[in-house]
Structure 1
């Protein structure tokens, strides 16, 4: 996975961890009561934080999300900071990509379709005509 894809994928986990722990997410020890999303987010933040050169912008982005977890701009700034870090460190990008849960798609019901990427037409209608 590339840095942008990983940054986008890890951002919700980081946000969940920051929402639960605030800016203390960096130093928080394992909490057995934490759910999987928050726990994974905490581990991701700690991996990002482990490299001192990443800390300045990351710290501010974490603090901004901690102040207002619902702020879309703060979340976007956090994603941007993570993306910057990951673009400079392909090893860390690969490491974080491996931490992410496997993606699964489920479709059920008449005409249901489960697709991760579609570069063409998907038609589930009876008697549909596709014209090119």
Structure 2
């Protein structure tokens, strides 16, 4: 099976960054049994596989060590888009150097892609709601 590592790296990076944002540098040490949502759990699993943390001997390659370092850096500044891009490139390089890892991860079922929701409200008595399936009552006409 031939794996498009560029596309796979693009697909996996949001999961990895979601897990890093949720757990910081501890993301590689956490176990999958933690109460985490599906995207974070999947991101943790991907990062453990990519960094070699899921192997019994914990022997790692130079690409895996570089990725681990980037995970630590990104954990310190989770909103850094440049570091997220570096993470994506390093994931791609690692999977190119280790096609067996890429093929393994490519077969994993993925949860819904992680998303970021921004809700903005302004004005007196303006409700801030992500999803609403009914009426929103802000009260009478007083301010």
Q: Does TM, normalized by the shorter one, top 0.5? A: yes
Aligned to 1:7: 9
- What does the per-residue CA deviation read over 1:76-95, in whole Å, with 9 as the maximum and x for residues that have no partner? 01001111100111111111
SS at match of 1:63: helix
TM-score, normalisation: structure 1: 0.71
Deviation string, structure 1 residues 8-49 (Cα, Å, up to 9, x no partner): 110000001111111111111124420000000000000011
Q: How does 1:38-117 map to 2 (within 5 A)?
A: 38-50=40-52, 52-53=60-61, 54-101=63-110
Unpaired runs of at least 5, structure 2:
53-58, 113-143
How many pairs are equivalent?
A: 103
Q: Over aligned residues, Cα RMSD in angstroms?
A: 1.7
SS at match of 1:20: helix
Give the conservation status (yes or no) of the 8 Å contact 1:10–1:41.
Answer: yes
SS at match of 1:59: helix
C-alpha separation in 2, matches of 1:102 and 1:16: 13
> Matched residues in 2 for 1:23 and 1:100: separation?
25
User: Shift in Å at residue 101 of structure 1?
Assistant: 2.2
In the TM superposition, what is the alpha-carbon distance from 1:55 to its structure 2 partner?
Answer: 3.0
State whether residues 10 and 100 of structure 1, in contact with CA within 8 Å, keep that contact through their aligned partners in structure 2.
Answer: no
The answer to whether the Cα contact below 8 Å between 2:42 and 2:110 also exists between their aligned partners in 1 is no
Closer/same/farther in 2, CA of residues 26 and 102 from structure 1, 3 Å limit: closer
TM-score (norm 2): 0.66
Q: Unaligned 5+ residue runs, structure 1? A: 104-132
Structure 1 segments (4+ residues) deviating >2 Å: 100-103
Q: Contact 2:64–2:94 (CA<8 Å) still a contact in 1?
A: no
